[in-house]
Structure 1
Amino acid sequence: MPNATFDDCDLTKFCRLDELGLVAVGQRLEPGRAVLACRVVEPDDWCHRCGSQGTPRGTVIRQLAHEPVGWRPTTLQITVRRYRCEDCAHVWRQDTTKAAEPMAKLSRRALRWALEALVLQHLTIARVAESLAVRWNTANDAVLAEGQRLLINDPTRFDGVTAIGVDEHVWRHTRRGDKYVTVIIDLTPLRAGTGPARLLDMVEGRSKKVFKTWLAERDQDWQDGIDVVAMDGFTGFKTAAEDEVPRRWRSWIPST
């Protein structure tokens, strides 16, 4: 009897291209990477300006770094069809924003892979860039932007916070620029015994003003819900907490 536990081989699903609105039409294995030829699933042949149906006017190739397949750097070569509207003469290309941001060099799956590799697997940016076969700056900029979008810009990350920790961290080891950042941690899960602490924010600089400004940016209901502010002996953090969340905070100085 046929084995019902397996499906037919499908490169599109295996490489998760269906999540990007793409379908694989070919592959090429090179010594240092795999190249997947793809096309956009949706035709997108209706004029974005007047709504008339457009006429195909050739194709262009868009290349994107994709998440590695078996740790082999993988590149997507996407054939993007161009259209022209006969009514208003508008020219456009198939929409590929499901696969990547405009002008981006990494697919959305590559962005997620890079962020998880950095945060969960503790890979360096150099290792991430090597795995994606892109330049260090390309990988670094992409990871920072994706982290900003998923983590820092998440409006729900402050929900339910009742205990925070604050400390400084040396992040720049050069002579120019501020070498400190102020790190704010949510200690609520640790305090309640429901999970580990989590990062809330990182703000450039280390001073009373930096922490005071960060606290002032939170709404009053959030400030009223904070009853523990854990910190070291730095006076600036202590006075900032006293100013913004008075009578509801306690400082904790870890033993050395």
Structure 2
Amino acid sequence: DRAVLACRVVEPDQWCRRCGCEGVPRDTVVRRLAHEPLGWRPTTLLVTVRRYRCADCGHVWRQDTTKAAAPRAKLSRAGLRWALEGIVCQHLTVARVAEGLDVAWGTANDAVLAEGKRVLINDPGRFDGVAVIGVDEHVWRHTRRGDKYVTVIIDLTAVRAGTGPARLLDMVEGRSKQVFQDLADRPAAGLARRSRGRGDGRVHRVQDRHR
């Protein structure tokens, strides 16, 4: 059982992106997007998109649909937000999210990783107020190829102050020494610089290394 919503772009987009001349409607195409489920029913958006052709230079383009989804994306923005919130806040598995969206596991996983990096990892203010961190090295790959270590970085400031739980800051492939060196080179790496200096920043290893 699934839901299908037929939509169309209401804003005209008739001006050529190359020469600026006005184009004429050529035809329409339908873009399929996995959307936020209605209940737990997979929902698909069928977005009718008009194509234009420039009367001067002959360039062909489609109406702008970036409000609904990123270019070439298979998930709508609402569907992507639902997937990210399901994994981060409700602790759903990628398989459960993919089932709810009716997409392949790889499609859901790639979309969530990219959006999570954009919203969470690339946030320049995510280290604000962090004074104590925990570090753990974990062996997650048991093969000869590829980096088998991942370094988990946790904000323990609230735990030390007794005001709240720990908060995951990042999970980075590699050993902790190299990870902190790379972290120090990031634009928003005040945390790493404090932890290596003589300020009040503290680094704690949350548990022994897993070999």
Same-fold call, TM cutoff 0.5? yes
Counterpart amino acid of residue 142 in structure 1: A
Larger-Rg structure: 1
Question: SS of 2:90's equivalent?
Answer: coil
Q: State how 1:81-100 maps to structure 2 within 5 Å.
A: 81-100=50-69
The residue aligned with 1:40 is 9
Question: SS of 2:123's equivalent?
Answer: coil
Deviation at 1:80, TM superposition (A): 0.2
Deviation at 1:162, TM superposition (A): 1.2
Per the alignment, do residues 138 and 220 of structure 1 end up closer, same or farther by CA in structure 2, a change over 3 Å counting?
Answer: closer
Per the alignment, do residues 221 and 66 of structure 1 end up closer, same or farther by CA in structure 2, a change over 3 Å counting?
Answer: closer
- For the 8 Å contact 1:43–1:94, the answer to whether it is kept is yes
Could you tell me which runs of 5 or more consecutive residues in structure 1 were left unpaired when the two chains were aligned. Answer: 1-31, 236-256
The residue aligned with 2:40 is 71
The residue aligned with 1:124 is 93
Per the alignment, do residues 207 and 222 of structure 1 end up closer, same or farther by CA in structure 2, a change over 3 Å counting?
Answer: closer
Higher relative contact order (CA 8 A, sep 6+): 2
Deviation at 1:211, TM superposition (A): 3.4
Instruction: Determine whether 1:228 maps to 2:196.
Output: no
Tell me the distance in 2 between the aligned counterparts of 1:50 and 1:191: 60
What is the alpha-carbon root mean square deviation over aligned residues? 2.3
The residue aligned with 1:14 is none
Aligned residues: percent identity? Answer: 73
Deviations, residues 19-65 of structure 1 (Å, cap 9, x unaligned) = xxxxxxxxxxxxx3111100012111222222222211110010000
Instruction: Determine whether 1:196 maps to 2:165.
Output: yes
Counterpart amino acid of residue 120 in structure 2: L
The residue aligned with 1:158 is 127
Tell me the distance in 1 between the aligned counterparts of 2:44 and 2:78: 12
Per the alignment, do residues 112 and 171 of structure 1 end up closer, same or farther by CA in structure 2, a change over 3 Å counting?
Answer: farther
Counterpart amino acid of residue 181 in structure 1: V
Tell me the distance in 1 between the aligned counterparts of 2:132 and 2:21: 57
Instruction: Determine whether 1:169 maps to 2:138.
Output: yes
Taking structure 2 as the reference length, the TM-score comes to 0.86
- For the 8 Å contact 2:26–2:50, the answer to whether it is kept is yes
The number of residue pairs the alignment matches comes to 204
Tell me the distance in 1 between the aligned counterparts of 2:111 and 2:191: 34
